[in-house]
Amino acid sequence: MKVTLPPAELLSPRQLAARWGLSEKTLERWRMLGTGPAFLKLGSRVLYSLTEIEAHERERTRRCTAGDRPSEVWA
């Protein structure tokens, strides 16, 4: 079964960098370190699924700076 995502649900590194107010270089570094959201690599092209972006945002949401416990805001 072939699954495809509509283009509106895929963001380029430039679009994601703009969404988060980061540089594309930061996203590139995160890809190398494996610390950013999951991404799709097609040849030399990198794309991010909106579903993965939103999941990453939920995982990184915190209520305070103490500890690494995720926020329950999204529950």
Using 50, 70 and 90 to split pLDDT, how confident is the model at 71? low
pTM, entire model: 0.75
- Structural domain includes residue 11: yes
Name residue 29's amino acid. R
- Structural domain includes residue 69: no
Alpha-carbon torsion angle 59, 62, 68, 72, nearest 10: -70
Is the pLDDT score of 75 beyond 60? no
CATH number of the CATH domain containing 20: 1.10.10
- Its domain, for residue 25, covers 7-60
What pLDDT, on the 0 to 100 scale, is given for residue 30? 97
Own/partner contacts of 18-26, CB < 8 Å, gap of 24 or more, are 19/53
- Structural domain includes residue 37: yes
Using 50, 70 and 90 to split pLDDT, how confident is the model at 69? low
Which helix (H) or strand (E) covers residue 57, if one does? Answer: helix 50-60
d(Cα 18, Cα 12) in Å, to the nearest integer?
A: 10
